[in-house]
Amino acid sequence: GESVGLHLPTLSVQEGDNSIINCAYSNSASDYFIWYKQESGKGPQFIIDIRSNMDKRQGQRVTVLLNKTVKHLSLQIAATQPGDSAVYFCAEKGWGSTLGRLYFGRGTQLTVWP
Amino acid sequence: GAVVSQHPSRVICKSGTSVKIECRSLDFQATTMFWYRQFPKQSLMLMATSNEGSKATYEQGVEKDKFLINHASLTLSTLTVTSAHPEDSSFYICSAKAGGRADTQYFGPGTRLTVL
């Protein structure tokens, strides 16, 4: 994931539109990637994950795309709703990591306008 | 499934006192638990990783004598902030991961610590 920074990237979308949240990761040897949603004052909530042997995975209203060539991960949210407003974090796990430590990106603040 | 709880959800204490935070995996056995700290509008910062029955592995810069971690069972890990000071005020979050090939970490709801 990207290094921790002081400025949180933001994305504003209108209700009903599709959202795309991007993440660049740093370790080409990472073999597992995961997206979390964090609402204000709460812990991160699992959304969807993907292993490095895949390039796309779909869930309910969400799709994760993995491009290992450019080390890029994206989260697509279809028909975005006000309840989707939150901070979204991507995280990666290095191949062979015995403890399963995740490296987190700095997060993206998604705001959905009615 | 995969529910993780934390207690307390928020705590206010006086400077110099110690505070214990509990993290429990409610419906699975967590071989590994992680403790994070989060400042406003920032990402999660890993403090330490604990495996059941062994000593925790602390990240660089985290004082192990100040942040005591115990992972006594497959469903419970505790973080004790000793001799707390105002600069320890933060949002502390735990996560838990099952054993084997499981990679997904499930997070607790977090604990807001305020040290006066």
Q: Where are the beta strands (DSSP E) in chain B?
A: 4-7, 10-13, 19-25, 30-38, 44-51, 57-58, 67-73, 76-81, 90-98, 106-107, 111-115
Compute the average pLDDT of residues B24-53: 93
Higher per-residue pLDDT: A101 or B110: B110
Q: How far is B93 from chain A (nearest CA, A)?
A: 7
Instruction: Give pLDDT, residue A7.
Output: 62
Residues of chain B neighbouring A107 (CB-CB closer than 8 A): 42-43
Q: Say if residue B30's pLDDT is above 50.
A: yes
Q: Say if residue A6's pLDDT is above 70.
A: no
Does B107 contact A100 at a Cβ distance shorter than 8 Å? no
Q: How far is A47 from chain B (nearest CA, A)?
A: 10
Contact (CB, 8 A) for A80 and A18: yes
Average confidence score pLDDT of chain A: 91
Residue matched to tokens 């994206």: A74
Instruction: Give pLDDT, residue B102.
Output: 81
Q: How far is B100 from chain A (nearest CA, A)?
A: 10
Closest residue of chain B to A86, computed from CA coordinates: B41
Contacts of residue B104, Cβ cutoff 8 Å, sequence gap at least 6: A34, A46, A49, B2, B97
B50-77 burial, b if ≥16 CB within 10 A, otherwise e? bbbeeebbbeeebeeeebbbebeebbbb
Instruction: Give A78-92 pLDDT, tens digit per residue.
Output: 999 999 999 999 999
End-to-end CA distance of chain B: 37
**Token pair recorded at residue A24:** 């660049």
Does A41 contact B112 at a Cβ distance shorter than 8 Å? yes
Q: Say if residue A3's pLDDT is above 50.
A: no
> DSSP letters along A2-29, please?
PPP-SS--EEEEETTS-EEEEEE---TT
The helix, strand and coil proportions of chain A, stated in percent and rounded to the nearest 5, come to 5, 55, 45
Instruction: Give A39-92 pLDDT, tens digit per residue.
Output: 999 999 999 999 999 999 999 999 999 999 999 999 999 999 999 999 999 999
Q: Say if residue A23's pLDDT is above 60.
A: yes
DSSP A74: E
Please compute, for residue B9, the number of CA atoms within 13 A of its CA located in the half-sphere on the CB side.
Answer: 6
Cis peptide before B8 (omega within 30 of 0): yes
A35 pLDDT band, cuts 50/70/90, is very high
Instruction: Give A90-111 pLDDT, tens digit per residue.
Output: 999 977 666 788 999 999 999 9
Residues of chain A neighbouring B110 (CB-CB closer than 8 A): 41-43
